[in-house]
């Protein structure tokens, strides 16, 4: 006998009071009419001050998740989102909040993480560095082709039969791996990116090209990546699910003719089940196999597989903060220049950015191709005082490695969202650099690591930096010095 699922309640005239993790908002609702106990409700796309009606989607004893069914009274701070795909896309969850409020929330997010998780002595946190450019700031966008366009419930209820194509070129819907929302305009990248993407879609439709079906594992068009550098150079990388040059080459020629400003036109034939291209051959159809980013006269070659901070202009601000907190702003006599380790160096952007004021920079990164890029970028910029190693950080960075290369004066740490492995923290503590500069895209895991480092280090500076307007993500840079 099947158990009937209990119906979840609707909540009326609820005030949203705050924002929370993952970009959601918060309301606190009485657990019953005669109780003073409050249940926390997490709500996407709410603004503090909204009075809303809610439908509960998930309920536990002390918390629930719900979505807004009606905004009874909008918050005074609520603003009209710019994007026509807002809420459906799921990418920019804070477009309905004014930017000055967004960065206040990010400042508080950093404060909360360091105070509640790290539980170490923290100095006054510097005001967050907001992004001067809050639209069209991304240098890289990745889109997916799909034979199954996402339809909203409103569309489904309004039409028995759809007259438009079932193909889509856009973003995966959160929680629906096989459905893609067709994008007409995205405000995160320069509008030439929209023009290129829409042109490819129209060409594919006009010429009957097949869009990939992830369940059937078939179709020609899989994904496309568009990179637009701060120098104005443009890379387009098309990824195909079939190796049919009779169809691929006319498309690529058409794209080259329609957009002669593309400086790097590439394609990949990916016959695997997943969309990653790191293990695939990149074919250069036209131009170079890389584009160039520039920063303080330094040139950074970025290829299809390279990692580069997606907000070029704000990356420069982030790296300047890192350099300043590391004490590497000023040129020193050669015999006084510090030895610097750059952990999780990626393509060596920070390492090369600070190298001119160092005796030597030693970079370590897991991805071998990224280390190839780091070495190439040193060579391009005439830097001969960098050393780069590829491998798992906890395997490369050992006490023996430090003994061989020298105890660092400064260590720059920029780990992935998961933070550092405890073995890595222990080697850092054993190496005892005078200064640590910890760059993080996840203040929560950064705070956890700061608690481990507290045995030998104290925090002297905290500087949040906003790299991703209209999202809840925030970067944070912390300077630590060795205790006396």
Q: Is the predicted pLDDT of residue 408 greater than 80, yes or no?
A: yes
pTM (two decimals): 0.92
- pLDDT at residue 210, as a whole number: 97
Across residues 240-248, what is the average pLDDT? 97
Q: Is the pLDDT of residue 33 over 80?
A: no
| Residue 141: CB atoms within 10 Å | 21
DSSP notation for 14-54: EEP-EE-GGG-EEEEEESSTT---EEEEEETT--TT-EEEE
Pick the catalytic residue from 83, 105, 186, 441: 441
Which of the four pLDDT bands, split at 50, 70 and 90, describes residue 317? very high
Determine how many CB atoms are found less than 10 A away from the CB of residue 224.
22
Name beta bridge partners: 294: 299
Per-residue pLDDT at 66 exceeds 50: yes
pLDDT, tens only, 103-150: 999 999 999 999 999 999 999 999 999 999 999 999 999 999 999 998
Residue 290 is predicted with a pLDDT of 95
Once rounded to an integer, what is the mean pLDDT over residues 99-105?
97
Domains of the chain, first to last: 10-78 (2.40.50.140), 101-133+311-482 (3.40.50.150), 140-295 (2.40.50.1070)
Residue 211 pLDDT exceeds 60: yes
Spatial neighbors of 112 by CB under 8 A, at least 6 apart, are none
Provide, rounded to the nearest whole percent, the portion of the chain with pLDDT above 70: 95
Q: Indicate whether 176 pLDDT > 80.
A: no
Can you tell me the distance from the alpha carbon of 163 to that of 286, in angstroms, rounded to the nearest whole number?
A: 37
The pair of three-digit structure tokens given for residue 103, joined into one six-digit string: 């960065």
Q: Kindly report, residue by residue over 451-484, the tens digit of the pLDDT.
A: 999 999 999 999 999 999 999 999 999 999 999 8
Question: pLDDT > 90: what percent of the chain?
Answer: 84
288 vs 34, more confident: 288
**442-453 as b/e: b if 16+ CB within 10 A:** bbbbbbbbbebb
| Count of alpha carbons within 13 angstroms of residue 211, beta-carbon side | 25
* Whether pLDDT at 364 is above 50: yes
Give the start-end residues of each E strand in 309-434: 339-343, 360-365, 386-390, 410-413
Model confidence pLDDT, tens digit, residues 245-295: 999 999 999 999 999 999 999 999 999 999 999 899 999 999 999 999 999
Assign 475 to helix, strand or coil: strand
pLDDT value at position 160? 55
pLDDT at residue 1 is higher than 50: no
- Rounded CA-CA distance 24/11 in Å is 17
Given a cut of 70, is residue 241 above it in pLDDT?
yes
What 3-state DSSP class applies to 84?
Answer: coil
89 is catalytic: no
- In this predicted structure, what is the pLDDT of residue 161? 63
Distance CA 441, CA 106 (A): 12
* pLDDT score of 2: 47
Backbone angles phi, psi at 99, to 5 degrees: -65, -40
For residue 38, the model assigns a pLDDT of 86
């Amino acid at each position: 006998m099947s158990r009937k699922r209990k119906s979840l309640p609707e909540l009326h005239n609820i005030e949203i009071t705050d924002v929370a993790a993952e970009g959601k908002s918060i309301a606190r609702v009485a657990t019953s009419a005669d109780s003073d106990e409050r249940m926390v409700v997490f709500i996407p796309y709410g603004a503090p001050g909204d009075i809303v009606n809610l439908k509960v989607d998930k309920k536990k004893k002390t918390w629930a998740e719900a979505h807004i069914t009606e905004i009874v009274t909008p918050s005074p701070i609520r603003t009209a989102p710019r994007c026509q795909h807002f809420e459906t896309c799921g990418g920019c969850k804070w477009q309905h909040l004014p930017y000055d409020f967004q960065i206040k929330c990010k400042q508080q997010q950093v404060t909360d993480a360091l105070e509640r998780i790290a539980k170490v002595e923290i100095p006054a946190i510097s005001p967050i560095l907001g992004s001067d450019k809050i639209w069209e700031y991304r240098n890289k966008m990745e889109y997916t082709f799909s034979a199954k366009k996402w339809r909203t419930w409103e569309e489904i209820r309004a039409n028995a039969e759809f007259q438009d194509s079932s193909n889509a070129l856009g973003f995966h819907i959160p929680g629906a791996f096989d459905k893609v929302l067709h994008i007409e305009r995205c405000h995160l990248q320069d509008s030439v990116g929209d023009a290129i993407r829409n042109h490819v879609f129209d060409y594919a439709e006009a010429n009957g090209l097949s869009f990939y079906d992830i369940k059937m594992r078939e179709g020609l068009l899989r994904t496309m990546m568009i990179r637009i550098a701060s120098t104005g150079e443009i890379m387009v990388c098309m990824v195909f699910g079939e190796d049919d040059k009779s169809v691929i080459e006319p498309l690529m020629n058409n794209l080259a003719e329609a957009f002669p400003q593309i400086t790097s036109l590439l394609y990949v034939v990916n016959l695997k089940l997943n969309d990653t291209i790191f293990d695939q051959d990149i074919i250069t159809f036209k131009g170079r196999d890389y584009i160039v980013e520039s920063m303080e006269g330094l040139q950074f070659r970025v290829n299809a597989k390279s990692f580069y901070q997606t907000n070029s202009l704000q990356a420069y601000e982030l790296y300047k903060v890192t350099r300043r907190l590391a004490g590497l702003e000023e040129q020193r006599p050669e015999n006084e220049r510090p030895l610097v380790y750059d952990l999780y160096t990626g393509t060596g952007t920070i390492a090369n950015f600070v190298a001119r004021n160092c005796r030597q920079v030693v970079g370590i990164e897991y991805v071998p191709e990224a280390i190839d890029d780091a070495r190439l970028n040193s060579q391009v910029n005439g830097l001969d005082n960098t050393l780069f190693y590829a491998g798992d950080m906890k395997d490369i960075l050992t006490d023996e490695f430090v003994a061989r290369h020298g105890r660092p004066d400064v260590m720059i740490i920029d780990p992935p969202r998961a933070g550092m492995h405890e073995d890595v923290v222990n080697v850092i503590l054993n190496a005892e650099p005078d200064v640590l500069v910890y760059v993080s895209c996840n203040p929560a895991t950064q705070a956890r690591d700061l608690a481990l480092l507290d045995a030998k280090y104290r925090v002297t500076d905290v500087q949040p930096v906003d790299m991703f307007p209209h999202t809840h993500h925030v970067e944070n840079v912390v300077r630590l010095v060795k205790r006396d």
